[in-house]
Amino acid sequence: MKFENTLQFARTMDNKDPLRSYRKEFHFPEVDGQPVIYFTGNSLGLQPKRAKDYIDEVMADWAKMGVEGHFYAEKPWWDYHERLAGPLAKVVGAKQHEVVVMNTLTVNLHLLMVSFYRPTAPRFKILCEEKAFPSDQYMLKSQIRYHGYDPKEALIEVKKREGEHHWHTEDVIREIEALGNELALVLMGGVNYYNGQVFDMEAITKAAKDAGALVGWDLAHAVGNVDLELHDWNVDFAAWCSYKYMNSGPGNASGAFVHERHLNNKEIARFEGWWGTSKETRFLMKPEFEPMPSADAWQLSNPPILSLAPYLASLTLFDEVGMDVLIKKRKALTGYLEFILNEIDKETESTFEIITPNARGCQLSVFLHGQGRPLFDFLMKNGVIVDWREPNVIRLAPAPFYCSFEDMYRFGQILKQGVRTE
């Protein structure tokens, strides 16, 4: 497609966009009375307007029924979480019984590590990417120490090549093969939070399985953003947050995936709680744990319904549209953003360096060489909500549900003004 840096071109693209009506499904913050250009769906997605209806429904049922809402609400609370599993399974490429919504992301990773990091004297090492998201680093190191190992020896980081900003799949696979029988687990971020790179999860998973290791993925920046086929890729487990591209609200409940081959393993290690036990006998208060024949077996407590309600609301949007349509627009929208950045770079004689490789989702991370925090402040003051990362990187994530091609054009004009002003 041949892009043009004109308002007319942007509006023509928007008029052809099959998702154009969904922009009206979201609340936009405003600056000076105008909706912002929102580039931070990779940190917190915008609020779906229908989320309030779902929350109000729970509040009304609670007011009218009290405890009886567990069984007699229109969407009974005791199995409320099950309504999320079907549409979420489509988003992550799983079978419905492999998916559960519970807790928050790092909590779920810790719980899954109980089951899938079982180090032995010969096989105890974990492979992750260099400078993984800090919470993952803390989680991995604490798990390693808990098992009596030294993170300096047990945690192996795949580094980027000298002078480059992204990883090469062959380097990851080479490291897996080099570790061989010492490798217990590969646990990486499916999409890197800093540079926006999408890892080749299928190839990395296969290499790790060939080496006899287990494989997990932190999909915080991947779910609702990129194509996922967790079941077919033979991934052992995964977890993600729901408040980025999934638009479920700040700090909301996490999702988890456990491949079906592990579900009926009676020997699997697992921390257990009463919401993971058999649904049929749960309220008999039996002393013996009878695991659900699904990922629900990893649940500990009854789910937070007021948190699940906006998540379910957002999932209805994903179910209406489907990931194929979202991904198609994402590619066009991110491509147009890249074009706009390059055009403004030429017009202003600046040096914008896009450090996100072609293997990407929504996000473009941009080095602002010669620019600093004042440019970020100018963008924010003028209604462009972006994310700043030291030393001088802005992250731009044009989420396809609610970002438009006109947003990309308008951003370019504001960016040009900011460069010339600052």
Q: What's the CATH code of the domain at 95?
A: 3.40.640.10
292 CB contacts (<8 Å, ≥6 apart)? 276, 277, 278, 279, 299
Angle between helices 323-348 and 405-421 (to 10 degrees): 30
Looking at 274, 299, 321, the residue that finishes a domain is 321
135 with 270, same domain: the answer is yes
pLDDT tens digits, residue range 10-23? Answer: 999 999 999 999 99
Considering the domain boundaries, does residue 1 fall inside one?
A: no
Looking at 290, 321, 352, the residue that finishes a domain is 321
Cross-strand bridge partners of residue 34? 31
311 with 337, same domain: the answer is no
pLDDT tens digits, residue range 304-348? Answer: 999 999 999 999 999 999 999 999 999 999 999 999 999 999 999
164 CB contacts (<8 Å, ≥6 apart)? none
311 with 331, same domain: the answer is no
Q: pTM value?
A: 0.96
Q: What's the CATH code of the domain at 28?
A: 3.90.1150.10
227 with 327, same domain: the answer is no
28 with 147, same domain: the answer is no
Considering the domain boundaries, does residue 192 fall inside one?
A: yes
Which stretches does DSSP call E strand in 290-410? Answer: 351-354, 364-369, 384-385, 387-389, 393-396
163 with 273, same domain: the answer is yes
210 with 342, same domain: the answer is no
Model pLDDT, residue 371: 80
Model pLDDT, residue 308: 98
297 with 345, same domain: the answer is no
Considering the domain boundaries, does residue 42 fall inside one?
A: no
* Calpha distance 287→277 (Å, rounded): 10
Model pLDDT, residue 26: 98
Model pLDDT, residue 422: 63
Model pLDDT, residue 12: 98
132 with 232, same domain: the answer is yes
Q: How many structural domains comprise the chain?
A: 2
Considering the domain boundaries, does residue 44 fall inside one?
A: no
Q: Which residues of the chain have pLDDT under 50?
A: none
The size of the chain, in residues, is 422
Looking at 306, 321, 336, the residue that finishes a domain is 321
146 with 200, same domain: the answer is yes
Considering the domain boundaries, does residue 259 fall inside one?
A: yes
Q: Structural domain of residue 385, as residue ranges?
A: 7-35+322-421
12 with 161, same domain: the answer is no
291 with 327, same domain: the answer is no
Considering the domain boundaries, does residue 208 fall inside one?
A: yes
Considering the domain boundaries, does residue 247 fall inside one?
A: yes
Considering the domain boundaries, does residue 195 fall inside one?
A: yes
